[in-house]
Amino acid sequence: MDRDLSINLVRLTEAAAIGAGKFLGLGRKNDADGAAVDNMRKMFDTMNIEGEVVIGEGEMDEAPMLYIGEKIGTPGMGYPKVDIAVDPVDGTTALAKGLDNSIAVVALAPKGTFLKAPDMYMDKLVVGPKGKGVVSLSFSVEENLINLAQALGKDVKELTMTTIDRERSQFIIDACRELGVRVKLFSDGDVAAAIETCLIDSDVDILMGRGGAPEGVIAAAAVKALGGYMEGRLTPENDEEIQRCIKMNADYKNILKMDDIVGSDDIFFSATGISDSVLVKGIKYSGGNMAKTHSVVIRGKTGTVRFIEAIHHLDKKPYYAK
C-alpha cells in the first residue's frame, strides 16, 4: 500500500479526537462518540482508498456511519483495496468521566486480512517481541508468567501485568499477586494498554484479560506492526452471539493466533489522544478556536513509529463538527 497513507490516516484520528474532546468530563459519552464518528467519516471522503469497514460502530441497522460493511472511498480508480478497523473513541466511559486512556484509533490493512470480529467479548493475551513463542491462551496464568520471565531474563517478581479493573479479571490478579508479579489496572480503553506491552520504554510486560473483540482486532494491528504477539479467543455468552459468529464466519471455538486476527504485515495504524494515555497525550484547546493534538502513526512493513504534534485552527477546518 502507498506509504502516503500514514500521514493521511492521522488526519482521521485527529479529526475524531477534536470532535470528541470537547465533551471530556461532561458525562455525555454518546455525544462525544457521535461527534468523533461524524468527523472521522467526513475525513475518510478525502482519502484515495477503496475500503470496507470490518471493525466499526456496529451493524448497518445500529449505526448511521462507519458501520460494519460500509464501503469507503472510490472503486475502480486503482486505489488500494483495504480493510478498515475504526474506533473513533476507545474509552468512552473514561472520556465521559474525564479520566485517562481515551483515544481515537484507526487501522488499515490489505483487503481480507482483518478478522471480522462480532461485538462481544474476547479473551486477550498480549506481549512484546521477546514474548513470542513462550506464551499462549492454552497455558495457565502462572505458566505464561513463568515462561515470559525466563524469556525476558527476569525474575518473575520483576514482571508487570496489566488488565482491566473488572471482577472478571480477579482470577488473573490473584494469580499474579501469588507469584509476586506487579499488577497495573486500567479502568477503560484496552487498545492503548495492549500497545503498551510493545513500547521500548514501557514497564509493562504482558496484558491478560477479557475485553471487547472489535477493540482486540484494532490492538492486534498495532501490536503486530510493532513486532509483538497477541492471541485472542472469542467468548460468546448466548445463542445470539454464537449466531453472530457463524454469520460473520468468526471462529469462536479455537484460540486465534496473531495471523488469524491480522493476516498481513502491511499495516497502517494511527491513534490520537483525547485524554492522556501511556501512548499519546490528550487534546488541548485554547482560545476557543485552536486545538493541539498528539498522535502516533505506525507502519507495519517498516516498523516505523512516528509521534506527531499538530496545532489546528478550528475555524479554518469546515469538516470539524461545530
CATH number, domain 5-111+267-316: 3.30.540.10
CA–CA separation, 261 and 248 (whole Å): 14
pLDDT at position 321 is 44
Q: Look up residue 273 and give its three cell numbers.
A: 489522544
On whether the 121-261 domain is CATH 3.40.190.90, my answer is yes
Residue range 228-267, pLDDT digits in tens: 999 999 999 999 999 999 999 999 999 999 999 999 999 9
**Contact 276/17 with Cβ under 8 angstroms?**
no
Report the chain's mean pLDDT, rounded to a whole number. 93
Reply yes or no on whether the pLDDT at 23 is more than 60. Answer: yes
pLDDT, average across residues 98-124: 95
Q: Specify the 3-state DSSP secondary structure of 49.
A: coil
- Counting DSSP H helices and E strands in the chain, the numbers are 9, 13
CA–CA separation, 221 and 34 (whole Å): 24
CB neighbours (10 Å) of residue 289? 12
DSSP code for 88: E
φ, ψ for residue 159 (rounded to 5)?
-75, 155
Domain range list for the chain: 5-111+267-316, 121-261
What are all long-range contacts of 53-56, with beta carbons under 8 Å and residues at least 24 apart?
Answer: 53/84, 53/85, 53/86, 54/83, 54/84, 54/85, 54/114, 54/115, 54/116, 54/217, 55/84, 55/85, 55/86, 55/87, 55/114, 55/116, 55/117, 55/214, 55/217, 55/218, 56/84, 56/85, 56/86, 56/214
φ, ψ for residue 55 (rounded to 5)?
-120, 120
Q: Specify the 3-state DSSP secondary structure of 23.
A: coil
pTM of the complete model: 0.93
pLDDT, average across residues 86-92: 95
Domain 5-111+267-316 matches domain 121-261 at the CATH topology level: no
Reply yes or no on whether the pLDDT at 60 is more than 70. Answer: no
pLDDT at position 311 is 94
pLDDT, average across residues 169-185: 98
